[in-house]
Amino acid sequence: MLPIAELHLHLEGTLEPETIFAIAERNRVSLPYKDIDELRSRYAFTDLQSFLDLCYANVAVLLAAQDFSDMTTAYLDRARAAGVRHAEVFLNPQAHTARGVPLREVMEGVAGALSESLRTHGMSSGLIVAFLRDESEESAMATLEAVLTLDVPFIGIGLDSAEVGHPPSKFARVFERAQAEGLHRVAHAGEEGPPDYIWEALDVLAVNRIDHGNRCLEDDQLVRRLVTDQVPLTVCPLSNVSLKVVNELSSHPLAAMLERGLKVTVNSDDPAYFGGYLDDNFDALIEAGHLEPADLARLARNSIEASFADSRRKLQLE
């Protein structure tokens, strides 16, 4: 099975409609949809914001560590079936602490499920604490300081949510603090935002990877920089179709990106909302005629090389 490492995955985006209803019932949370079909009927997005509104409304069902653990385990089981052997996953603590859920419940629930998956299935992982960029820099900094005080392992920080109007430079101090702590750093850039946001993520935030990065193709000098430095781009094809970043999969720039020597990887982003997990993304790309066998091997190798796994684990994954 080909997919190896998944590097761009939001845990909150893995909540399937059935799970949302099941956890809502368990926690006696009332949902604004009468049934699963009504919820599913809302999965027609016009842009990033229309998705974010639904996704972050649905996390209202998550209240206790068990809920966060169940969400994480369900993703890991499904990803394993897709051929994923190493997963680096985003979690947005602010989306939960803002609702009054204690940070410790959130972090311990997720981290417990990740370590259990390593123990039981040998599936390695890393937790990336992501900040909602439409919130203030102060809020992101306070969240970073709070997670650092907990005895819960995480490997890095990320930046997600509404991109346009919230440039990477807004979070310069937070990323500087994370770098001083020896944490890995990634940021969503160039999904809806301009190439300038990718430059800022590289030059101001000193990120190790760019999440999405599609719009780098509008700036030849930027492409040269990304190729020269072999900065990984975690591309999400089905997400791009669903959020209208591309018109259809057949016009997706993945093949062009590979062709230009960019270090791209394929990822599922928010699989419960965008029509599938990592295997579904690869199947759709193959169906659209985008990938040669050599490309598949390249993408698998890129996913290992672009991961934050240690060198011993990378050798095992090869």
- The residues of the shown chain that bind ligand HPA, judged by CB under 6 A, are 10, 13, 48, 160-161, 188, 191, 239, 269-270
Residue 177 CB neighbours (<10 A): 17
Min dist. Cβ of residue 318 to Zn ion (A): 26
**Partner from Zn ion, ligand HPA, none contacting 214, C-beta within 5 to 8 A by type:** none
φ, ψ for residue 3, nearest 5 deg:
-50, 135
Q: Which is nearer to Zn ion, 65 or 265 (CB)?
A: 265
Q: How far apart are CA 157 and CA 146, in angstroms?
A: 13
With 0-12 CB in 10 A as exposed, 13-18 as middle and 19+ as buried, what is 151?
exposed
- By beta carbon distance, the residue nearest ligand HPA is 160
Q: Is 8 known as a binding-site position?
A: yes
Q: Which is nearer to Zn ion, 268 or 302 (CB)?
A: 268
Q: Is 96 known as a binding-site position?
A: no
Contacts of 145 (CB under 8 A, 6+ apart): none
Q: Which is nearer to ligand HPA, 166 or 317 (CB)?
A: 166
Q: Which two tokens stand for residue 48?
A: 């990033």
SS3 258: helix
Contact 112, 69 (CB under 8 A): yes
Among 88, 269, 279, 295, binds Zn ion (CB under 5 A): 269
**Partner from Zn ion, ligand HPA, none contacting 48, C-beta within 5 to 8 A by type:** ligand HPA
Residue 187 CB neighbours (<10 A): 30
Min dist. Cβ of residue 19 to ligand HPA (A): 17
Q: Does 163 bind Zn ion (CB under 5 A)?
A: no
Question: What are the residues facing 10 on neighbouring strands?
Answer: 90
Q: Which is nearer to ligand HPA, 53 or 220 (CB)?
A: 53
Contact 9, 90 (CB under 8 A): yes
Min dist. Cβ of residue 234 to ligand HPA (A): 10
Question: What are the residues facing 158 on neighbouring strands?
Answer: 130
Q: Which two tokens stand for residue 49?
A: 């914001």
Residues annotated as catalytic are 191
Q: Is 290 known as a binding-site position?
A: no
Identity at 108, one-letter amino acid code = E
Residue 49 CB neighbours (<10 A): 15
Min dist. Cβ of residue 10 to Zn ion (A): 5
Q: How far apart are CA 268 and CA 254, in angstroms?
A: 14
Q: Which is nearer to ligand HPA, 91 or 317 (CB)?
A: 91
Min dist. Cβ of residue 90 to Zn ion (A): 7
Known binding positions for substrate: 270
Known binding positions for Zn(2+): 8, 10, 188, 269
Give the interface with Zn ion as residue ranges (CB under 5 A).
Answer: 269
